[in-house]
Amino acid sequence: MAVSKFKGAIHSDERGKLIFFNEFSMEPIKRFYEIRPSSTETIRAWQGHLIETKWFYCTAGSFVMNLLPLTENGQPNTSLKIEQYYLTSDEPLVLKVPGGYASGFRAMENNAKLLVFSDVSLGASKNDDFRFPENAVGADWGEM
Q: What is the pLDDT of residues 3-56, one digit of tens each?
A: 999 999 999 999 999 999 999 999 999 999 999 999 999 999 999 999 999 999
Give the amino acid at 89.
S
What is the C-alpha to C-alpha distance for residues 32 and 12, in angstroms, rounded to an integer? Answer: 27
Give Cβ neighbours of residue 4 (< 8 Å, ≥ 6 apart).
95, 96
Confidence band, pLDDT 50/70/90 cuts, at residue 143: confident
pTM value is: 0.94
> Among 82, 131, 80, 89, which Cα is nearest to 107's?
89
Please report the domains of the chain, with CATH numbers, ordered by start residue.
4-133 (2.60.120.10)
Q: What is the DSSP string of 47-81?
A: EEESS--EEEEEEESEEEEEEEEB-TTS-B-TTSP
Q: What is the pLDDT of residues 24-34, one digit of tens each?
A: 999 999 999 99
For 37, counting Cβ atoms within 10 Å of its Cβ (0-12 exposed, 13-18 middle, 19+ buried), the class is: buried
Q: What is the pLDDT of residues 72-116, one digit of tens each?
A: 999 999 999 999 999 999 999 999 999 999 999 999 999 999 999
Give Cβ neighbours of residue 80 (< 8 Å, ≥ 6 apart).
69
Chain centroid offset of residue 5 CA: 11
